[in-house]
A = this chain, B = another copy of it.
Amino acid sequence: MFDSVIAVLDWFGIGVFATTGALVASRKQLDIVSFALLGTVTGVGGGTLRDLLLGVSPVFWVRDPTIVVVCVAVSVLVFFVAHIPESRYRLLLWFDAAGLALFAVVGAEKGLEAGSGPVIAVLMGVITASFGGIIRDVVGDEPSILLRPEIYLTAALAASLLFVALTGLGVPRTAAIIAGVGIGFAIRGGALLKGWALPVYRARPGRTPDQLGL
């Protein structure tokens, strides 16, 4: 039962992140093959870095190529329907939010599974949740989602922290999973709807090297 809950969430996370990658491809007016690559890279990127760091080898989608096939299929679907939503970028933000919450818990669980302690497990959650979006934005030349003003990483951190803490306290795992994903999506969703942001200690933007005379 537990394995299947995490596995289901993992599949959902892969699907929604692949969608965000394909949406970036549509914003950049790329062709269908580029949709497939950007969707796949975004869908599997976070988990790939996690597996590399944990020393899980080969990485998960090399062991299970169906994952790649699904990413390609999702991307091709987006290629044909991306014109429907009024704002693809808003849709991207919401799918990214769902993926963020899902992968934060999935990543933390994979960290625990690999024998890591709580600090590394929480960090694996944050890395799995954020890295797919980071490479999507770098490769697709989008403004980085990490640099947006509202809360982003904090939602991933809350999700994986709550999941790891509840698991450590002996809470049944399905409950810990639901709580983790729920808090992560609630925080990021609230940030998107209400513009929630953590305080910035000192609102003084950086100057460019030119302005500094460097």
Contact = CB atoms under 8 A, between A and B. Distances in A.
B130 A90 contact: no
A191 B26 CA distance: 20
A65 B200 CA distance: 27
A58 B207 CA distance: 38
Number of this chain's copies in the complex: 3
A152 B24 CA distance: 17
A152 to B, nearest CB: 8
A147 B30 contact: yes
A65 B119 contact: yes
Given A34-B152, A142-B206, 14 more contacts: A26-B206, A33-B154, A40-B123, A53-B62, A55-B58, A57-B57, A65-B119, A83-B201, A83-B204, A89-B206, A89-B212, A90-B214, A139-B146, A141-B143
Interface of A: 24, 26-34, 37-38, 40, 48, 52-55, 57-59, 61-62, 65, 68-69, 79-80, 82-83, 87-90, 93, 114, 116-117, 119-120, 123, 126, 130, 134, 138-144, 146-149, 151-154, 157, 197-209, 212, 214
